[in-house]
Structure 1
Amino acid sequence: MISKSLYFSAVMALACSLGFSQDKKQQDIKSIKSMCGCYEVKFNFTETFQYPKDSLTYKPSETKHESALEWVELLEDTPNKIVMQHLLIVSDDMIIKHWRQDWLYENTDLYSFDKGTSWKYKKLDKKAVKGQWTQKVFQVDDSPRYEGSSTWVHVDGENYWSNVADAPLPRREQTKRNDYNVLKRRNIHEITATGWNHEQDNAKLIRDESGKDVLLAEEKGMDIYTKVPDIKCIAGQKWWKENSALWKNVRDKWQTLFDRHQDLNLEAKVDRKALYSLLFDLKPNATKAETDAIINKFVK
């Protein structure tokens, strides 16, 4: 029979453990939500190493340095799910819906990019994702891009989340490169004193039908988000208020597809048009029936 002192010690240890877990989770949430707001962003990419069979004809991607003003809108804020929409502000009259990131706590449902326009559904083990956050990244039309589950790290003054996930070609390369078909991304989201950094160490892969990968090249990416007053992004905030209902309908439709827990295969184009093009052409008051019908055309 267990003694009262041992029982009390065990209870106290469990309580301390649960308390630490909750404190850690609150740190995680604070870090994730700190990526919201108005930012001046510098996008930097350069190809670092090449491994082509024919080095004489290989053309590496040009080094890229671009800047932008970006508003990150907090769409959902619950204990286990945080949703953030990125908006590029070209001018007061030109706002571009950019990527979206969802953060889910101890999530077990994952869509892993395969190749082309196909994603494989994976069921993760509950024990494997304990204390972890899944980052789900979506394209401008809210279709999937890449997803991964990892632990936020808060130690020695550092504050970051790191993960490796397969992804389609980035938009900056889709119209320029056809010599590889998978980008294996090592993403690091680090919170800084002035905002946050999105650091990437990427591998450009050629994946064949059997799933075998050949490494073609590697690249380094560093996107630096510097926080500025929210008033600078007022145009993005206004645009989102006018268009949020439309894009909620789009997100809701995709969620019904994800909830099937099946592999997802999409058409690249329908009637020679990409999905984002058809959705971007819609008026803010378009109905859910309209957005559902468009997305259905792209689901195989």
Structure 2
Amino acid sequence: MRKKLLLLSTLFSIITLAQNKQEDIKAIKSMCGCYEVQFNFTETFQPKKDSLYIASPTKKDWGLEWVELVEDTPNKIVMQHLLIVSDSMIIKHWRQDWLYENTDLYTFNKDLHWKYSKLDSKTVKGQWTQKVYQVDDSPRYEGSATWIHADGKHYWMNTTDAPLPRREHTIRNDYNVLKRRNIHEITAYGWLHEQDNVKIKRDDKGNDTEIAQEKGLDLYKKVDDSKCKAAQNWWKTNQFVWKNVRTKWQTIFDGKKDIYLEGKVDKKPLYSHLFSLKTNATKKESDTIIDSFIKK
């Protein structure tokens, strides 16, 4: 009798997990398409009173963004964001990969250093890892959590460390880690990326000093795909170069070792080198560029 009950319980768990996974996939893939985006960030708290401290100005920005479904398999979904400045100017923006029950994690430490760790397979049961990449497909931040589908809401939430955001890395040097509490929620208008961030100064011994806190709200309002036709066409022409870049990075990630990167090579950052490649550039060309940024 006990064996029968145990078997029934196991089968129920397997069926429930499979059903949840399909709902997870539906939520993740619903973030693809054409969106009018509002970017909103403002500092909220400063732990210590300092009359000399200057908070970052509140940032409000808008844009039109196409989210391309690049890879779609049962355990991996790859989505490339493309920012549309004009019909003739498309910017390859950030990329997000979603991996099911992933056990390989690269956590940002500081100073272009990511620590590799192996997660326990039992811990990530039913979870999805969101891996976020820079515009040049180098690592940015990663975190694993369970998608929640309850009370008519669909969201995923995780806290992880990240480098300074692009909006601040050229104007701030008083912190070097952004601890990000990310919430991705599917909404009636599209989806919401909500952030509760902590700006941290981390020393070489791993000691953290909180500098300030920040609130972020990125609203993705779904619009007709035809509004993003320029980005769709751009991707058709440029996708092959970036596939080579992703493949090269994957071989580096497969090494399962800490990653240390150079900030600049020949006085230029990695994205500047890769963005200069022609659409018919070979894999050897992009491999050579990326290799030059990897610290041995």
> Among 122, 128, 141, which residue is 2:123 paired with?
128
Query: Which residue of 225, 235, 238 corresponds with 1:240?
Result: 235
Structure 2 equivalent of residue 285 of structure 1: 280
Shift of 1:194: 1.0
Partner of 2:41: 45
Once the two structures are superposed, residues 125-158 of structure 1 have per-residue CA deviations (whole angstroms, 9 ceiling, x without a partner) of 1111011000000000000000000000001111
For structure 1, list consecutive stretches of 5 or more residues without a partner in the other structure.
none
Which residue identity lines up with residue 222 of structure 1 in the other structure? L
Q: What is the aligned partner in structure 2 of residue 21 from structure 1?
A: 17
The corresponding residue for 1:106 is 101
Partners of 1:71 and 1:237 within 8 A in 2: yes
Output the amino acid matched with 2:31. M
Same amino acid, percent of matched pairs: 67
Q: TM (normalized to structure 1)?
A: 0.97
What 5-or-longer segments of structure 2 have no aligned partner? none
The alignment of Structure 1 onto Structure 2 pairs a total of residues equal to 295
Contact 1:52 1:58 in 2 (8 A): no
1:36 aligns to 2:38 (yes or no) = no
CA drift at 1:16? 2.1
Q: Counterparts of 1:7 and 1:277 in 2: how far apart (Å)?
A: 61
Aligned to 2:56: 61
2:246 maps to which residue? 251
Q: Secondary structure at the match of 1:42?
A: strand
Partner of 2:184: 189
Give the letter aligned to residue 42 of structure 2: T
1:82 aligns with 2:71: no
Of the three residues 156, 170, 174, the one matched with 1:175 is 170
Q: Which residue of 2 aligns with 1:12?
A: 8
| 1:89-238 pair list within 5 angstroms | 89-238=84-233
Give the letter for the 1:273 counterpart.
K
Separation in structure 2 between the aligned mates of residue 56 and residue 264 of structure 1, nearest angstrom:
38
Question: 2: CA distance between counterparts of 1:283 and 1:109?
Answer: 33
For residues 217-263 of structure 1, give each alpha carbon's deviation from its aligned partner in whole angstroms, at most 9, with x where no partner exists. Answer: 00000000000000000000000000000000000000000000000
Distance 1:7 1:125 in 2: 27
1 CA distance for matches of 2:64 and 2:75? 29
Counterpart of 2:258, as a letter, is D
Deviation at 1:15, TM superposition (A): 2.1
Q: Distance in 2 between matches of 1:29 and 1:172?
A: 31
Does structure 2 retain, via aligned residues, the 8 Å contact 1:39–1:225?
Answer: yes
Aligned amino acid, residue 41 of structure 1: V
RMSD (Å) for aligned C-alpha atoms: 1.0
In the TM superposition, what whole-angstrom CA distance separates every residue of 1:114-134 from its partner, at most 9, and x where no partner exists? Answer: 001100001001111011000
1:96-123 deviation line (CA, Å, top 9, x unaligned): 0000000000000000000011000010
Counterpart position of 1:296: 291
8 Å CA contact 1:72–1:87 kept in 2: the answer is: yes
Counterpart amino acid of 1:287? Answer: T
Opposite residue 11 of structure 1, the aligned amino acid is L
Q: Which moved more, 1:44-53 or 1:157-166?
A: 44-53
The answer as to whether partners of 1:197 and 1:224 remain within 8 angstroms in 2 is: yes
In the alignment, the residues of structure 1 paired with residue 8 and residue 148 of structure 2 have an alpha-carbon distance, to the nearest angstrom, of 25
How far, CA to CA, are the matches of 1:18 and 1:108 in structure 2?
Answer: 20
Structure 1 CA distance, aligned partners of 2:9 and 2:129?
A: 28
Q: In 2, distance between residues paired with 1:177 and 1:268?
A: 16
- Structure 1 ranges of 4+ moved more than 6 A: none
**Secondary structure at the counterpart of residue 276 of structure 1:** helix
Q: What amino acid is aligned across from residue 133 of structure 1 in structure 2? A: W
SS at match of 1:298: coil
**Which of 266, 273, 276 is matched with 1:271 structurally?**
266
